[in-house]
Amino acid sequence: MDTDRNMERLVQEIFETRLTQQYAYHNFAHSRYVMQAAMKIGAASGLDTEKDQRLLMAAGLWHDTGFVSAYEGHEAMGCELAAVYLPQFGFSAEEISLVQGMIMATKIPQSPRTLLEQVLADADLCYLGTPDALALASKLFQELNSINHSFDAVQWRERQISFLSGHRFWTNYAIENFGPGKSAYLLSLQLS
């Protein structure tokens, strides 16, 4: 659908023109990854209607756009941007509210209330259960250190272990498909 491609191009433009290079992890590539993962997890979870898929696509694309304005509280800023731009792509007020709920469900600690929110929450962190976990976590480490956090490698490993130990996936699909990889990643950190 041309409208959806135009929305994706707009989000890419927002990231590329308004986000600094410090953001090695939270960037358009991450948002596109989350969009694709959300649509896949959603379809596997029974959210396979055109409307559900479009909501997941929009939420995945817009969920981290708030980073262009603020690091802390970026979810709320992303909700504001979605409210400004989504009407031009045919989203109703009710649909925008659903997208905003999904975006807020990615706030750590996650507390999704609906299946749509669970899907986006899982999509945002599904990388933890993939072979790319270490490489993506390294990008996040680089980003955090460039945004006024200063962790050494040992502190970062401890933070990762703590986070992974407290994290859970919400959908059956994510539990089954990313849970084992996340457990293996956690074990590798604990043994290193």
Count up the domains in the chain and report the number. 1
2: exposed, middle or buried (C-beta count within 10 Å: 0-12, 13-18, 19+)? exposed
- Per-residue tokens: 180: 């084992």
Q: Count CB neighbours of 131 within 10 A.
A: 10
End-to-end CA distance of the chain: 47
pTM > 0.85: yes
- Residue with the bigger pLDDT between 138 and 151: it is 138
- In the block, tokens 């041309």 appear at 2
Amino acid 1: pLDDT: 65
Calpha distance 26→101 (Å, rounded):
19
Calpha distance 62→65 (Å, rounded):
5
pLDDT tens digits along 3-62: 999 999 999 999 999 998 899 999 999 999 999 999 999 999 999 999 999 999 999 999
Amino acid 2: pLDDT: 84
State the chain's maximal CA–CA distance in angstroms.
50
Amino acid 94: pLDDT: 98
Domain range for 30 is 2-191
pLDDT tens digits along 56-81: 999 999 999 999 999 999 999 999 99
Amino acid identity, position 81: L
Read off the CATH number of the domain in which 82 is found. Answer: 1.10.3210.10
Residue 88 predicted with pLDDT over 80: yes
- Per-residue tokens: 71: 């690091």
Calpha distance 46→129 (Å, rounded):
21
Q: Which residues contact 181 (CB under 8 A, 6 or more apart)?
A: 128, 129, 130, 131, 133
Q: Count CB neighbours of 150 within 10 A.
A: 8
Amino acid 12: pLDDT: 98
pLDDT tens digits along 145-182: 998 778 899 999 999 999 999 999 999 999 999 999 99
Chain CA centroid to CA 5, Å: 19
Amino acid 96: pLDDT: 99
- Per-residue tokens: 114: 């609906």
Amino acid 151: pLDDT: 86
